[in-house]
Amino acid sequence: MEQPDRKKTRAVKVGKLLIGGTAPVSIQSMTNTRPHDYDATLVQIKELAEAGADLVRVAVPDKEAVPVFKKLVQNCPLPLVADIHFDPDLADLALDNGAAKIRINPGNIGGIKRLEALALKAKSCNAAIRIGVNAGSLERRVLNKFKGATAEAMVDSAAGYLEIFENTGLKNLVVSLKASDVYTTIKANRLFSKDHDYPLHLGVTEAGPPSTGLLKGAIGIGALLADGIGDTIRVSLTASPLEEIKAAKKILQSLGLRIFTPDLISCPTCGRCEVDLVPLVNQVERLLENYKAPLKVAVMGCAVNGPGEAKEADIGISAGKRKGILFKHGKVVRTVEQDQLLEALKQELNGYT
């Protein structure tokens, strides 16, 4: 499978993880438990790690959340990002207490002097800062200059803050340029990527519930990744953060950037279909979640187009009248009754992990 040529960015260290450089595109999400509830937040971070997150962001909204954050850093399996708004003292405290990265919107954190101090603090802690530029909260200067929250305005805002941080010598910087509309997000990231080599955190912000958010995320993040742009992603959904991780994995896998499970190919069904394909494919999809091998598995509904696609796959099923043909690496392995197709596929998967 061909994959996009990734644009070369500088590598930024976030705890034990690298973002950018030659590192794989990393996956992240944000906890939605109460940030003062240590037990619930730790459980969720562990679930996210298990699901495939590479780093996790946790809100630190007030001083009471700081000791909880500290304990999470000490006990959780992934680098933690502290999400800070408005209060630079909280950013300082999060860094003092082990944040691998802090995510700030530099426009709401207290002016240039405070940003410089924060950059020096991050440098001394060997931590990273994400400059999170959001179309919904751009500073007056750029809104006036560009007559609104345009992609150009977002890039100008990010460039201004980068200059402040660079002047302090801090290089461990990640940038995000997010808008709730997909095309502005794509355009802003493309523009930024032309002139800067800082790693980009991609996402379409406030993308909505899964019914629309998955599509917005897949289009916005996917278009940029296909251009070779993007080093870490968050699929923003009004849903469990675990859904965000699942979606992120599917986006990366569909572009061949990372492989997590076998690739499932199945036909859309039509009037020729000889089997109740939808439940069968759902069962196969659940089965394949248990495997990591980079296999192509095809499940096709009839003998017209089915065998061709099934032969191309590593393992393929092509349904026919009451029976189905099982293929392995292009060769017919056997013919089985339709109600035995899933079991036959399981047997062929034996030996793969």
Going by C-alpha positions, the residue among 238, 221, 217, 241 that lies closest to residue 229 is: 221
Contact residues for 15 (Cβ-Cβ < 8 A; gap 6+): 55, 78, 79, 80, 100, 101
For position 58 contacting ligand SF4 by CB under 6 A, the verdict is no
- Quote the least distance from Cβ 256 to ligand SF4, whole Å: 24
For position 273 contacting ligand SF4 by CB under 6 A, the verdict is yes
Which residue stretch of 105-113, 127-135, 251-259, 300-308 sits at the interface with ligand SF4 (rule: CB under 6 A)?
A: 300-308
- According to DSSP, residue 33 is labeled S
Beta-bridge partner residues of 203 = none
Of the candidate residues 73, 115, 122, 302, the single one contacting ligand SF4 (CB under 6 A)? 302
**Are residues 89 and 66 in contact, defined by beta-carbon separation less than 8 angstroms?**
no
Of the candidate residues 2, 268, 286, 350, the single one contacting ligand SF4 (CB under 6 A)? 268
Read off the amino acid at residue 140.
R
Going by C-alpha positions, the residue among 223, 212, 291, 227 that lies closest to residue 251 is: 223
Which residue stretch of 47-55, 199-207, 250-258, 270-278 sits at the interface with ligand SF4 (rule: CB under 6 A)?
A: 270-278
Nearer to ligand SF4 among residue 1 and residue 278 (C-beta): 278
Of the candidate residues 108, 253, 254, 269, the single one contacting ligand SF4 (CB under 6 A)? 269
Distance in angstroms between the alpha carbons of the first and the last residue of the chain: 21
**Are residues 81 and 55 in contact, defined by beta-carbon separation less than 8 angstroms?**
yes
How far apart are the C-alpha atoms of 94 and 86, rounded to whole Å? 14
For position 158 contacting ligand SF4 by CB under 6 A, the verdict is no
Which residue stretch of 37-45, 50-58, 62-70, 298-306 sits at the interface with ligand SF4 (rule: CB under 6 A)?
A: 298-306
**Are residues 3 and 257 in contact, defined by beta-carbon separation less than 8 angstroms?**
yes
Of the candidate residues 253, 305, 340, 347, the single one contacting ligand SF4 (CB under 6 A)? 305
Distances (CA, A) of 62 to 36, 94, 99, 217: 9, 10, 15, 30
For position 300 contacting ligand SF4 by CB under 6 A, the verdict is yes
- Quote the least distance from Cβ 327 to ligand SF4, whole Å: 14
Nearer to ligand SF4 among residue 251 and residue 277 (C-beta): 277
For position 338 contacting ligand SF4 by CB under 6 A, the verdict is no
Structure tokens at 151: 């992609």
In the three-class reduction of DSSP (H, G, I as helix; E, B as strand; rest coil), residue 277 is classed as: helix
Of the candidate residues 293, 304, 333, 342, the single one contacting ligand SF4 (CB under 6 A)? 304
Nearer to ligand SF4 among residue 217 and residue 307 (C-beta): 307
Phi/psi at 70 (nearest 5 deg)? -60, -45
Which residue stretch of 82-90, 148-156, 161-169, 304-312 sits at the interface with ligand SF4 (rule: CB under 6 A)?
A: 304-312
For position 321 contacting ligand SF4 by CB under 6 A, the verdict is no
- Quote the least distance from Cβ 263 to ligand SF4, whole Å: 17
For position 301 contacting ligand SF4 by CB under 6 A, the verdict is yes
- According to DSSP, residue 256 is labeled T
For position 272 contacting ligand SF4 by CB under 6 A, the verdict is yes
Task: Give the CA count within 13 Å in the CB-facing half-sphere of 17.
Answer: 24
Nearer to ligand SF4 among residue 199 and residue 306 (C-beta): 306
Nearer to ligand SF4 among residue 159 and residue 265 (C-beta): 265
How far apart are the C-alpha atoms of 6 and 350, rounded to whole Å? 35
Find the farthest-apart pair of alpha carbons in the chain and give their distance in angstroms, rounded.
Answer: 74
Nearer to ligand SF4 among residue 174 and residue 341 (C-beta): 341
Which residue stretch of 62-70, 221-229, 261-269, 280-288 sits at the interface with ligand SF4 (rule: CB under 6 A)?
A: 261-269
Number of residues that bind ligand SF4 (CB under 6 A): 12
How far apart are the C-alpha atoms of 63 and 56, rounded to whole Å? 20
Going by C-alpha positions, the residue among 104, 101, 227, 119 that lies closest to residue 166 is: 119
- The residues of the shown chain that bind ligand SF4, judged by CB under 6 A, are 267-270, 272-273, 300-302, 304-306
